[in-house]
Each structure stands twice: as C-alpha cells, then as structure tokens.
Homo-oligomer: A and B are copies of this chain.
Amino acid sequence: MPTDQLSATFAALADPTRRAILARLSSRECSVTELAEPFDMSLPAVSKHLRVLERAGLIARGRHAQWRPCRIKAAPLKEVAEWASHYRALWEGRLDRLDTYLQELQHKEKNHDRRPRRK
C-alpha cells in the first residue's frame, strides 16, 4: 500500500470507473445509489471504489444515517496537476523550467536528507 499522499492519489486514479465516479461528482454530491446507476454495477462494487477514493482523500462522505452523500475533494487533484506540470517543459521542449524543478528537488534533498525508501 502506498504511504505518501501522492502515491495514494495515483493508485486511486488508476481505474477508469473511479475516474468516472469523480467526473460525476464534480458537478454535484451523489448518493451511492445514484453513483451505481449509470455504471450498471452492484452497490457493493461501487462502495468498494468509494472506499478507495475516500482513503485517498479524493472524496468525502456525509454522516447522515440513511443517505451518505459523496462529494469530490479538490486538493489531491491539484497536487496531481502540480506534479505533472513540472514535466510540461518535456512536451513543450522548454528545458529551462525543468532545470529549475530539478534544482529545487536537489535542494530539498540536501535540506531534509531524505532518501527514497529501500524496496
């Protein structure tokens, strides 16, 4: 299981049904029943996807006893957009920006003495 936020977000997004659920929730809150309907899926199957999205912080669920509406949370999606934007220079052919990003990464590593976990 991924332990950092960005890894948890990417893992949760690695499924077309979960991404479709997020697209649906981006316009309004929905109940599990409403979410299940267009996907022709069982409620337990949808609930399983929702648990993954909730654990990753991509959705939050209301605390009503009978109707627990799901709503999308933007913060992890913003993190994904910011992460990907560092590579924009690659497909736009502007390598100066990427150099700045790499220098920032090296600076962080030096300051925090963080090394990626052994695997």
Contact = CB atoms under 8 A, between A and B. Distances in A.
Contacts of A4: 16
Interface residues of A, number: 50
Given A6-B19, A17-B117, A116-B39, A87 B11 contact: no
A117 B16 contact: yes
A7 interface: yes
Given A4-B16, A14-B11, A15-B2, A26 B90 contact: yes
A45 interface: yes
Interface in A83-119: 83-88, 90-91, 98-99, 101-102, 105, 115-119
Contact of A17 (B39, B98, B119): B119
Contacts of A115: 38-40
A63 interface: no
A43 interface: no
Interface of A: 2, 4, 6-8, 10-11, 13-17, 19-20, 22-23, 26-27, 38-41, 45, 48-49, 72, 74-75, 77-78, 80-81, 83-88, 90-91, 98-99, 101-102, 105, 115-119
